[in-house]
Amino acid sequence: MELRQLRYFVSVVEEGGFTRAAARLHLAQPGLSAQIRQLEKELGQPLLDRSGRSVTPTEAGRAVLPYARAALAAADAVRETVDAYTGLLRGRVTLGMVFGATGHAFDVAAFLADFHADHPAVDVALTEDGTERMQAALLAGELDIAVLGTADEVPPPGAAFHLVIDVPLVAAVAPGDPLLARAGDTGVVPLADLRDRPLISLPRGTGVRAALERGCAQAGFRPRVTFEAAAPHTLKQLAARGLGIAVLPAGESAPGDLLRTLPIVHPEMRARIALAWRTTGPTSPAARALLDRLRKALPSPPGTSTPDTSPARRSP
């Protein structure tokens, strides 16, 4: 068994076929297929199911995949660690980020440009996705670092959180909405008042949506979400047209907005954005360098008692 065969196997799984994997690896497809078959022969089990339109791992292949990724990561880390001791940082880091996760105060492009200027031999692959998929990818080793939404302060086993945003959810309503009269002088709205009202929310798989659904379950009902959008400003536009009540993180309103925002209580729900990384398995010096830079660029919210759930491991 050779490392290159494991790399070929992982590439075919990630690309879903031999043609795309061969192009990614700059190999001829027959040679790639021959190497995979040699690996399967040595292991005594087929690792790939070639019967469908796309190539997928067999049951044995799914079991082997995390070990293959770990072996490749360990080999890459050996090279990267030696480079770090000589003062040269190189490698590839995968970063996942929820769209609009850190608001307008964080310029992702400028941040990555500055990091690249300091470490030109490090490639950073940036992806945007929902929280649930990014968290699963992080724990599976497909992402090194993620900026994701979460309904929890405590990370899942195998991960660590550095909270970046922790604010309550509010109801944003158009002028004249009956909810304003019900709020009265208190200026707040019990979550139960949103029962059976059309709601506008971020999609499932986001931290805000998870917090909303959890809060409604505690209040004894299921939210009636009639519109979904990935960007908070789209939620506000829909609410301004009277199409429902937008449930947003506090602070999303801007000067000139016609919407009125009401804090939601009983229970209070919170929107949290966290910088997340794995606490198990090897982490490359390049990933640790990017993580350290992100932790400095994304400070914890004021008054957070436990901003970090695990210390980041620093490069030598």
Where does residue 274 rank: exposed (0-12), middle (13-18), buried (19+ CB within 10 A)? buried
For residue 267, the model assigns a pLDDT of: 95
Largest separation between any pair of C-alpha atoms in the chain: 75
Q: Which CATH number fits domain 89-316: 3.40.190.290, 3.40.50.2000, 3.20.20.60, 3.10.400.10?
A: 3.40.190.290
For residue 274, the model assigns a pLDDT of: 93
CATH 1.10.10.10 fits 3-69, yes or no: yes
- CATH 3.40.190.290 spans which residues of the chain? 89-316
Decide if 249 contacts 232 (C-beta within 8 A): yes
The C-alpha angle 256, 179, 202, rounded to 5 degrees, equals 65
**272 conformational bin, left if phi > 0, alpha if psi -120 to 50, beta if neither:** beta
Q: Report the distance separating Cα 75 and Cα 78, nearest Å.
A: 5
For residue 82, the model assigns a pLDDT of: 80
For residue 230, the model assigns a pLDDT of: 85
- CATH 1.10.10.10 spans which residues of the chain? 3-69
For residue 157, the model assigns a pLDDT of: 92
User: Consecutive sets of 10 residues in the chain, 316 residues long: mean pLDDT of each?
Assistant: 92 91 90 93 93 90 92 82 75 85 71 93 90 90 91 90 92 93 90 96 91 96 95 90 94 73 95 91 82 89 54 40
For residue 310, the model assigns a pLDDT of: 47
For residue 195, the model assigns a pLDDT of: 96
Task: Tell me, letter by letter, the H, E, C secondary structure of 227-243.
Answer: EECCCHHHHHHHHHCCC
Q: Confirm whether pTM is higher than 0.75.
A: no
